[in-house]
Structure 1
Amino acid sequence: MTYFAIAVFIAAYAAIISERFNNATVALVGAGLMILLPVIESRDVFYSPASGIDWDVIFLMLGMMIIVSVLRQTGVFEYTAIWAVKRAKGSPLRIMILLTLVMALASAVLPNVVSVLLIAPVTLLICDRLAINPVPLLIAEVFASNIGGTATLVGDPPNIIIGARQHLSFNAFLFNMAPIVIIIMLVFVAILPLMFRGLSTVDRERIADVMAVDERDALKNRALLIKCGAVMVLVFAGFIVSEAIHIQPSLVALMGAGILILTSGLDQSDYLANVEWDTLLFIIGLFVMVGALFKTGVIKTLGEMAADATGGNVLVTTMLILGVSMLLSGIIDNVPYVATMTPIVGHLSSAIPGQAHHDVMWWSLALGGDLGGNLTAVGSSANIVMIGIALRSGNPISFWQFTRKGALVTAMSTVLCALYLWLRYFVLS
């Protein structure tokens, strides 16, 4: 069973990398093979928190996709696109920097998948207005979403898993993670001109046309915009206090979507227009395949092998967790990877005697799990959503196009995180 699970996962991954097949089809076929053998059973797929589908992630995405569909009917995305072009004076590089900073900030206070769903449509409208290629901007933004989401408990799903396992608060994440996130974002913004040298030039007439437009004219349904604004404020507040009120962010998003469906008066085709069904099915299939690797013990074995190599040294353990997490969370998908690693890290943090830095391994896992998601196109749910949006808009992002840039961002993040962990928790503490 173990070898079969590994073979199916490798074959599916190779098919995804080849880009010759639809990703959702590949993931569902791979998941089907895992179930038919059976490597994994229905109770493992649907009900197990360890090896099953993470329904919180799926329904969070579905709820926010519906909210975005309703919001799109108001014209607010067009308004924001024109506003951004005017502030950046039509420069693609300045637009990229502005949107990546907005994305990082939004991802710190909202789940990063939500930030992608809100900001990607604005980016596509800007690029359409200026007749430039949106792919570099979309790639840069999803990198920023994974970086910004690292800063807080609610920003990235792996943080929610770690916070629940170790009882780490919102303030604990902010205090320990935000400083390195700010440093990484500053370096990331600084290297953007080098990473994306081939940014399109913009026709001056197009810039002049946009500068002459009054963005307020783009707002088509102000009454609906007010309703959306009120619901989104409630939804965002719900995300922040979800732990205190014991309601998962996914349920908050679904309730917000339900309120808008009831009050907007829109047709079903309107509020389902931006639901990325292929993306949701791809993530579901991926969860099942990785769950099979978990069920057969493959992921646990890899984690324990890495843990055994540390020899009980806290610094070596911390750095190994960081390095392994950066690599494996980028290949497997950071949500199931972190869910698998939490018991291993919990065992290590309690088993190594005399360690003064009790939580440093958890911060190492969080940094590696979150930022490692930038390594490949399937490293995080935010990546998968962004690639789905790009494909649907007629601007596909290839696996290798993403990974070439992602490897550079991940390498930079790994070096900065290693220095940060060493200095803050071993030198200065």
Structure 2
Amino acid sequence: MRLLLTIAFVFNTFALSPLDEALSKLIKKHNLTSLPQSQLQNQNEVILGSRLFAEVRLSGNKDITCMHCHHPMLGTGDNIPFSIGTGGAGLGKSRIQDGKGLIIKRHAPALINLGYDEITDMFWDGRVHVDWTKGEFKTPSKELNAKTELNKKIRNALAAQVIFPLLSVEEMLGKNNEIASQKGDLAKWDAYVDRLLNGSKNAMYQNLFKRAYPKDFKAGKIDISHVANALAAFITRNFNLVDTPYDEYLNGDLSALNDSEKRGLKTFLDKGACINCHSGQHLTDWDYKSIGLPQIGPISATSTLNDKGRFEVTGNKADQYNFRTPPLRNIHLSAPYMHNGVYETLEEVVDHYNHTRPAIKNYIVNEVTQGHYEEKIIKDENFINNKLRYQLISDDDIRRPLQLTEDEKADLVQFLKTGLSSRRLQRLEEASKLLK
């Protein structure tokens, strides 16, 4: 049925308005189709994953959870530029270092619509890569990469990704605790699993793991792969939001987008050149690009201040300052934007792409950004670094001014905000307003 609707939309142009007809041609040109729901998940895995997602015992010092950086009520992010890991206090925009919190070098990416097997790379720099169709498994852990009997049980890239914050000193591992003292990645992961399953107060997790993985539990073979798969099942099931006006429009409902959103989509597909990178069903090519961003970071952390992105994984000079193109559905939820959270609003993002050079030159760290951190956040003013960032911009359409009008920018932002917003989320937002 979806295919028939799409065909009808693309080819029956005789009944379309001029704007719909122009969009029909652009949609056909770029071969755009809606994103289907992700595959169904085992309910017992989802239930286990939901508890693990909010479990402090999955942090070395038992003071932070996955949810602190990926809160469901904050668009599965944390709404601050650089996440504050173990040692911090509070949630979302109220999270502070509190004297002990460690600054994580990049903005927490959203977890929305990541549970698809065709997504093979994770993190802003792609340091986790799993493609079981090609038998490929590459992560920062040489131990895990080599232990094929373990890594083959990890279902996909999302499942591999979720266990790495557990090893990060700044994120969840911390220092001076019984997990951090273990020698090697596998030993640390084993210690986390032991925390969950063994001891007089762990009957709940024993029961949850038994239900989710009965054969392995009975055989005493529960390990980090089960934690990984359960967390991935929860994320896949609960953060799958594809019921957007944009998807409905692609499926043939011409009334799904209003006129402003339609004009914004047209700008997205032609003059704005957004489609150059944000293509395909997921509205991303999953590639790594340099877009000439201003770079900010704590004054004490040169690794953050001059973060070279994909280069830190590949060592290839051409990958300097390249970061993964993010998907765009429900993008209005995940402010601030970019790998380092430099822009608070989608309007600022559009202005950056509209004329990149002055966006870099004129950027100033504002009080909102600084307010989350005890350390001073500064912009990298190194002329050579900034010149290189500009020279390495991946796309000529980013380097040259787009010359969008104010109306075109406004319509583009409207499309990004509401045209790509899940209907389910819109209904929740409307209901919450009625309760105020």
TM, length-normalised to structure 1: 0.29
Structure with more of its chain in helix, by fraction: 1
Structure with more of its chain in strand, by fraction: 2
Larger radius of gyration: 2
TM, length-normalised to structure 2: 0.29
